[in-house]
Amino acid sequence: MDSKRSKQPWEMGLLEYGKSRLPSKTAAQITEARQVASFSGQHIKEIKAAIGRADFVPKDVLMEYRGAEWADGALRDVRRIDK
């Protein structure tokens, strides 16, 4: 795998994902995920699709949505793999 490839949406936290959707000048001013909360719906769709395809979704990305049934289920699966 090419180490210089860009991250996929499901490999990013919400802050990084939201900033990636904005013009670079605007993104440079964003420092908190709440500032890009309007992108969370699409981000969740990207993550759920990745889970459905059995793509790797980093644990820290799933932790951002802890409490949501789909994220908690994926986190349980990650914990089983980590053992």
Domain positions in the chain are 10-82
- Return the ∠ at Cα 63 (arms to 6 and 65), rounded to 5°: 95
Task: Give the pTM.
Answer: 0.87
Instruction: Decide: 34 and 52 in contact? Cβ < 8 Å.
Output: no
pLDDT per residue, tens digit, the chain (83 aa), is 455 679 999 999 999 999 999 999 999 999 999 999 999 999 999 999 999 999 999 999 999 999 999 999 999 987 665 44
End-to-end CA distance of the chain: 26
Q: Tokens standing for 44?
A: 């969740």
Q: Which one, of 57, 60, 20, lies nearest residue 36 by Cα? A: 20
Instruction: Decide: 13 and 60 in contact? Cβ < 8 Å.
Output: yes
Residue 1's pLDDT is what? 47
